[in-house]
Structure formats: structure tokens, C-alpha cells
Amino acid sequence: MLTNEHIVEQALERITAGYVFPEKATVVVAAIRARITAGAYEGLEGPELCETVTAHLQEACPDKHLRLLWTDEPQSLEPVDDDGGEAAFRALLMAENQGIHRVERLEGNVGLIELRRIATAIDGASAIGAAMQLVAHSTALVLDLRACLGGSPEGAALWNSHFFGDDQVHLHDIYSRATDSTRQYWTSAHLPGPRYEDRPVYVLTSATTFSGGEDVAYTLQAHGRAVVVGEATRGGAHPTARHAVAEHVLVTVPTARSISTVTGTNWEGVGVVPDIAVPADQALDAALKAVRP
């Protein structure tokens, strides 16, 4: 049986090897090893260990993607099976309708799409296209991201592409530490559903909205394509890999960072700031009031 010290050290090795900011990784490792020496993790059960280490990680480096997570599902510790959590994420999306929780037509011919996850561009394309087809003839659209917990950068770019007229919009870039390269994200030339042009779009956010959901909200807001309504979001802008460090413990390591082509920065640590600030449970009413003043 792995000791807590061994589990934490395995996590630190992953952070050292992959964290997008190597200089910050050095600070994190020193801080956590000081905690190990002080006996901070002795006797902690799995979920409590994860919560405690996560708090210490984020105290040393306030990156909300830098976490230790407990999972009830046993994980393989074989290196050949380590795919950064991709297979598990794709299985989750399949079970959750590619992140699309509901699509409705509201009074006044206002379309509503609620997303809980951002699917991958490949697996989610048909579902994304179907959702956009159902709201194609609405006069305004509400994109509800209040419970969206994140997802795929490629999927976020695909969702965003539907709200622009062509494939000539440079949405944002992502710098990857692993390849020391920057990938550009542009609107797509070919989409699985109809484009939603020249009509108002309102994006609903909450303090729960995170990561890929924030990507959609921030990018549409920055490009002047949507009005964000609700609360400031959680503030996680770094694409992340997940690695098993024990049978029931994962470490999440931010391996890249987003860079907006409009602002030159991202939403890390500050969240997406709404254009219309209201409590999350009032965001839909506020958006509909803006649509139908």
C-alpha cells in the first residue's frame, strides 16, 4: 500500500515535469515538501489527503487547476495506460450527451442551450450541430454556462465558431510547455450546424463556471459577440492533464495557457467578469429582460 508521502511525491514529480510555469513548479514543490517534513499529511484518509494537499498547492501557487483529486473509480497505474485523463473524459461526455443538458425555445422565440461540459470537437460535433439546428431560427440565443465545469479547448473553439460569419476570426492561442509551441485557434470553415449570425447572444455565468466554459464566455465577450450575464466565474484558464498517482488519487497538472487575441491575456485567477452582474439564479431573467426590454 502506498504511503501518503509516496503519493504526494508522485504528484510533485508530475507537477515538476509538466506544469506550464516551471519556475512556479519549483516554488510549489519546495512548499509541499516542507509540509511533508512537518508531517502535515500523516494519517489523512484519501479524500481528506486530496483536499489538504490541494489547499496547500493553491496556497503556494493560486492556480485552480492545480489539484489532487479523489476518485471512487480505480485507476490504472501502468505508464502505457496514462493518457492524461482523455479516455475518462470522453467516456464522461458520452454519458452526459456531449455536455448538452437541454435545448429549449422560450417565449418570444428566444433559443436556450444549457451546457454542463464542453465536448471534444470530434466526438461532440454531431450533438453540437443538432443543438444549433434546433435554435437556428430563434431571434436571440441564451447560452447557459452556469453549471459548466469545463472541457475541450477544441470543442470550445467549435462552439464559438458558430457565432461568427466565416472562418477568418482568430479566436485565441494556447501555449504548450510540452512542445514549447503556440497553437492558434480560428473559427472553423466547416461546421456541424448552422452559423448563428447577426443576432444577439447572451451567456449566463456563475461562480461555478470553470475552464472550458470560461473559454467560451471569455472569447465571445472579448470579440464583442456576446453579452455575459451573471456572476464572475471561477478563473481557470490553463488546459490540464490528469495523471493517476495512486489507485484512487489523480493529480491535475496545467500544461498550457490560453492567450486572447483581443486582450493579450486570459481569465486565470480573475474569472470572466460579467457585463450585467446579477446573482446566478437571476441571470436568465436578466438576460431575457435585455432581449425583451
CATH code for residues 96-236+271-291:
3.90.226.10
Residues 6+ apart with CB under 8 A from 130: 193
Domain boundaries, the chain: 4-72, 96-236+271-291
- pLDDT for the residue numbered 175: 96
pTM: 0.91
| pLDDT tens figures, 126-160 | 999 999 999 999 999 999 999 999 999 999 999 99
Residue segments in the chain with a per-residue pLDDT below the cut of 70: 80, 293
- pLDDT for the residue numbered 292: 80
| pLDDT tens figures, 66-75 | 999 999 989 8
- pLDDT for the residue numbered 84: 84
Measured distance CA(189)–CA(3) in Å, rounded: 52
Measured distance CA(130)–CA(127) in Å, rounded: 5
| pLDDT tens figures, 26-46 | 999 999 999 999 999 999 999
- pLDDT for the residue numbered 81: 77
